[in-house]
Amino acid sequence: MRPVTPSPSLPPTLRRETVDGVVLLTIDRPDALGAFHDDLWDGIGAALTQARGDDDVRCVVLTGTGRTFTAGQDLAEMAAPRQHDDGRDHGYRGFMPVLEEFDKPLVAAVNGMAVGIGTTLLPFCDVVLASTEARFKVPFMPLGVTTEAAGSLLLPERMGWQRAARMVFTASWLSAAEAQEAGLVLEVVEPDALVPSALELARTIAAMPLDSLVTTKRLMMAARGDAVRAARQREDAEFARMVGSAANAAALASFSKG
Amino acid sequence: MRPVTPSPSLPPTLRRETVDGVVLLTIDRPDALGAFHDDLWDGIGAALTQARGDDDVRCVVLTGTGRTFTAGQDLAEMAAPRQHDDGRDHGYRGFMPVLEEFDKPLVAAVNGMAVGIGTTLLPFCDVVLASTEARFKVPFMPLGVTTEAAGSLLLPERMGWQRAARMVFTASWLSAAEAQEAGLVLEVVEPDALVPSALELARTIAAMPLDSLVTTKRLMMAARGDAVRAARQREDAEFARMVGSAANAAALASFSKG
Amino acid sequence: MRPVTPSPSLPPTLRRETVDGVVLLTIDRPDALGAFHDDLWDGIGAALTQARGDDDVRCVVLTGTGRTFTAGQDLAEMAAPRQHDDGRDHGYRGFMPVLEEFDKPLVAAVNGMAVGIGTTLLPFCDVVLASTEARFKVPFMPLGVTTEAAGSLLLPERMGWQRAARMVFTASWLSAAEAQEAGLVLEVVEPDALVPSALELARTIAAMPLDSLVTTKRLMMAARGDAVRAARQREDAEFARMVGSAANAAALASFSKG
């Protein structure tokens, strides 16, 4: 595996390596449990854009480090969206369109806790592998907000309506085995086998003709039409209304104490 | 649990209790195996409308009594739709739009036989628990009619196309275990544990902020767009054509004898 | 079971028998492993059209012979579409609209290898039974092409996105048990029990009123709207672009050698 000199667009919290047509992206922010912040969103977005434009890349693997995959969106930046100088959105809002249009196979290797966006990102991955130590939670209700990243559409699609509803409405944890039974995760492996298993799958995929992979991924995405983008945009509007509301402030205060 | 004095709009066949933000609705018509008749439809519709408008209610649980959840639509009223004085439909036709727009979490606790609409209502419930004694059947084919309550869309969505097709086309019974394997039911519990389990889940949900619950349920419903209503309306048109047809009359005659 | 004198429109590679309102179609081309060629497409299309128009037919069963269900589209005819004298398409392109509009219950009994279209046809079948000897593979990637028969929509619908993506992107084989776990197959039975089981199910269905079966199948198809046709047409356009391309030629050359 060839370590890649970080491009200026990649933050220190994101590692990038390549091998045999596969890009391995590793979220490396152990001090903040892999929480997403604007620079990390921007970094993953830049890495996906780079991978999309590079004909030598045929598959991308996303993983985390230590005990967490990602602890979700950094609460401090949740209520303060920023723009780049050219008007593009920083952070989540800038990232989602890149993810929604990413047209090469994408594999997730969930190594530990996947909270909030760490879980709602997973339905954008074509295959999700998880370590036995992975755990999954979407704490939108206790935080006084709602689903994001088209989770209102994609969690029911992946898990079935009932499991998605129970997970969202109760904000309960799923173990790796429960996530597999629910369809959120395809395979659960021992921690040491996680990244090797993901890379083995990715290299098998990356041995296929590029045009076939890209065309097929586009056709699969086209088959669900604009529903994903529309769901995410409905959510974003509600999220903006709810963040900073009295209920959200009370929920956050209670959450910090409790 | 606080028993509630029946409002004038609730028929004697429907009991209503409340506790900790949860409304428990119990179909209580043992003499008719819990069969739906216009007054019961109207009553459940009125109870859901009341629950929707009451900010102290955050989750509704629906269950039945004795050996049946509900035996389905009362055959005698099947072919004779009636209107309220103000033009609103009585019965099934008046009820369905209320159910389709109900925007708080809804839990079903299926205690016994769920026949026809007793099964096709379930995909509108966010979580369905069932007793080991529950059984499920949609006898539309032998009755010479077709699916109702958007079952043509929602049974395949919940159960997968193949299990839905087999259940509908053969009109066979599913046991509680089979319904769980098929995805129609999320959990199966002992009869004594059914309502307590449903209430425990409902109280966990009802502890969440109201705005988050309602917004999320609305987003989840919006994600499937108008497909549910459109499916139900297509079915209603066919149902109206088929009820009272020669094939239906022959099927009913054969059904009554057999 | 009554063997039917082949109509002029049925090729020698397709056998047709009827019993109790059920038509059993058997692909019988052992010398070519049941590969689809234009005459076979045309024959199955003609048989389905005949079954649709015959009120005595209420269910159709499709199976194969020997070790294969079907080895998929004949490669020699892949790149050379032909038209009938009246302008209708021969082969796959003429067949798909017939299949998409077939409005009676359709049961598949997969006896052996189901490759390419042998697998992508299955989501059009209401129930799929398989022999323990069945195996499933979609080799679109190594052939340098993409999905067909609306597989980009229907494989994820039947199998879930993750299992469909892995199967398509890696072109790996699924065993009968894996196909059942994935939701592509509903039941797996011993080879000797396959056709009898399919016929037993079909006869149960065929005992129901014709109007109920046809109306319900139409409602189920209407519930997914024009999405199936649209997905297939997007695929056809890409397929036409890719067949005969340098990547496809290289893939075919490599495939023939390997």
- Is A33 contained in some domain? yes
pLDDT at C206 over 90: yes
Please write down the HEC assignment for all residues of C1-22. Answer: CEECCCCCCCCCCEEEEEECCE
Nearest to A183 among C145, C160, C238 (CB): C160
pLDDT band at B256 (very low <50, low <70, confident <90, very high): low
Give the model's pLDDT for residue B8. 53
pLDDT digits (tens, 9 = 90+) for B224-246: 889 999 999 999 999 889 988 88
Shortest distance, CA B44 to any CA of chain A (angstroms)? 22
- Average per-residue pLDDT for chain B: 90
Shortest distance, CA A202 to any CA of chain B (angstroms)? 29
pLDDT band at C247 (very low <50, low <70, confident <90, very high): confident
pLDDT at B210 over 50: yes
Shortest distance, CA B90 to any CA of chain A (angstroms)? 29
The stretch B77-87 carries a mean pLDDT of 72
Q: Which helix (H) or strand (E) holds A3?
A: strand A2-3
User: How many domains does chain A contain in total?
Assistant: 1
Give the model's pLDDT for residue B258. 46
Give the model's pLDDT for residue A217. 98
pLDDT digits (tens, 9 = 90+) for A37-48: 888 889 999 999
| Separation CA A15–CA C145 (nearest Å) | 33
How many CB atoms lie under 10 A from the CB of residue A221? 16
**Contact at 8 Å (CB) between C158 and B160?**
yes
The stretch A41-56 carries a mean pLDDT of 95
- Is A123 contained in some domain? yes
- Residue C32: give the domain boundaries: 2-193+205-257
- B221-248 burial by CB neighbour count: b if 16+ within 10 A, else e? bebbeebbbebbebbbebbeebbeeebb
Q: Which chain C residues have a beta carbon less than 8 Å from that of A209?
A: 141-142, 144, 247, 250-251
The stretch B180-201 carries a mean pLDDT of 98
The stretch C208-236 carries a mean pLDDT of 95
- Is C199 contained in some domain? no
Give the best residue of B153, B157, B161 to mutate against chain C (max C CB count within 10 A).
Answer: B161
Q: Which chain B residues have a beta carbon less than 8 Å from that of C220?
A: 147, 152-153, 156, 161, 164-165
- Average per-residue pLDDT for chain A: 90
Q: Which chain B residues have a beta carbon less than 8 Å from that of A245?
A: 211
pLDDT at C75 over 70: no
Nearest to B204 among A152, A170, A247 (CB): A170
Which CATH number fits the domain that encloses residue B69?
A: 3.90.226.10
Nearest to A126 among C141, C150, C162 (CB): C162
> What is the maximum alpha-carbon separation in chain C?
53
How many CB atoms lie under 10 A from the CB of residue B127? 25
- Is A9 contained in some domain? yes
The stretch C97-103 carries a mean pLDDT of 96
Q: Which chain C residues have a beta carbon less than 8 Å from that of A208?
A: 141-142, 169-171
pLDDT digits (tens, 9 = 90+) for B164-176: 999 999 999 999 9
Compute the count of residue pairs across chains B and C with CB atoms less than 8 Å apart: 89
- Is C172 contained in some domain? yes
Q: Which chain B residues have a beta carbon less than 8 Å from that of A227?
A: 223, 225
**Searching chain A, which residue's CA lies closest to the CA of residue B224?**
A153
pLDDT digits (tens, 9 = 90+) for A89-124: 888 889 999 999 999 999 999 999 999 999 999 999
Give the model's pLDDT for residue A86. 78
> What is the maximum alpha-carbon separation in chain A?
53
Q: Which of B229-243, C70-84, C88-102, C185-199 has the highest mean pLDDT?
A: C185-199
- A150-163 burial by CB neighbour count: b if 16+ within 10 A, else e? bbbbbbbbbbbbbb
With CB atoms and an 8 Å threshold, state whether A201 touches C238: no
The 8-class DSSP code of residue A224 comes to: T
The stretch C157-161 carries a mean pLDDT of 98
HSE of B14, CA atoms in CB hemisphere, 13 A: 26
% chain C with pLDDT above 70: 91
- Is C139 contained in some domain? yes
Rounded to two decimals, the ipTM of the complex is 0.94
Give the model's pLDDT for residue A258. 46
The more confidently predicted of residues C89 and A219 is: A219
- Is C200 contained in some domain? no
| Separation CA C147–CA C153 (nearest Å) | 9
pLDDT at B3 over 70: no
**Contact at 8 Å (CB) between C115 and C73?**
no
**Nearest Cα residue to C104 out of C186, C31, C212, C243:** C212
pLDDT digits (tens, 9 = 90+) for A131-142: 999 999 999 999
pLDDT digits (tens, 9 = 90+) for A144-193: 999 999 999 999 999 999 999 999 999 999 999 999 999 999 999 999 99
